[in-house]
Amino acid sequence: MPDSAIRRLLEFDSQVQRDSDQSQAFLHRRDRRFALNCHDKGQLPSPDLWLEHVHRLRTPLPTEDPLRRWRHLTAGFAIAGLITGVMAMLGLLFYDGGNRINLTVILAFVLLQCLLAVITTVQAFAGWQPWRWLLRKLFRTRPPDVLRPLQPMLMARAAHTGGLMFGLAGLLTLLVLVVVQDLAFGWSTTLEAGSDSYYQLLAALAKPWQNLWPAAFPDRDLVEATRFYRSGSDGSGNPALWGQWWPFVAMVWSTYVILPRLVLLALATIHPGIRARRELARHPGMIALQYRMETPALDTGNLHNDAADQPDTSTNGQLHPLPGGQVLIRWAGAGEPELPDALTVGYQDVLAAGGNASLEHDDHVIQKAGQLLAGAAEPAVVIVTRSWEPPTGELADFLHGARKSWPPTTLVALVPVAAEPDQPPPEHQLNQWLRFVDRFADSRIVVSAPDMASPEARIHRALQDGYQS
Per-residue pLDDT, 462: 47
pLDDT digits 0-9 by tens, 77-90:
999 999 999 999 99
Cα gap 304→172, rounded to integer Å: 75
Yes or no: say if 116 and 92 are a contact pair by the CB < 8 Å rule: no
Q: What is the pLDDT of residue 267?
A: 92
What are the DSSP calls for 396-443, one per residue? HHHHHHHHHHS-TT-EEEEEEE-SSTTSPPPHHHHHHHHHHHHTTT-T
* pLDDT for 323: 84
> Is the distance from CB of 328 to CB of 340 less than 8 angstroms?
no
CATH placement of domain 320-468: 3.40.50
Domain boundaries, the chain: 68-284, 320-468
391/400 Cα distance (integer angstroms): 14
pLDDT at 168: 96
Low-confidence ranges of the chain (pLDDT < 50): 231-237, 452-469
Taking the complete model, does pTM exceed 0.85, yes or no? no
User: b/e for 358-375, b at 16 or more Cβ within 10 A?
Assistant: eeeebeebbeebbebbee
Query: Hey, which residues does 384 pair with through a beta bridge?
Result: 330, 415
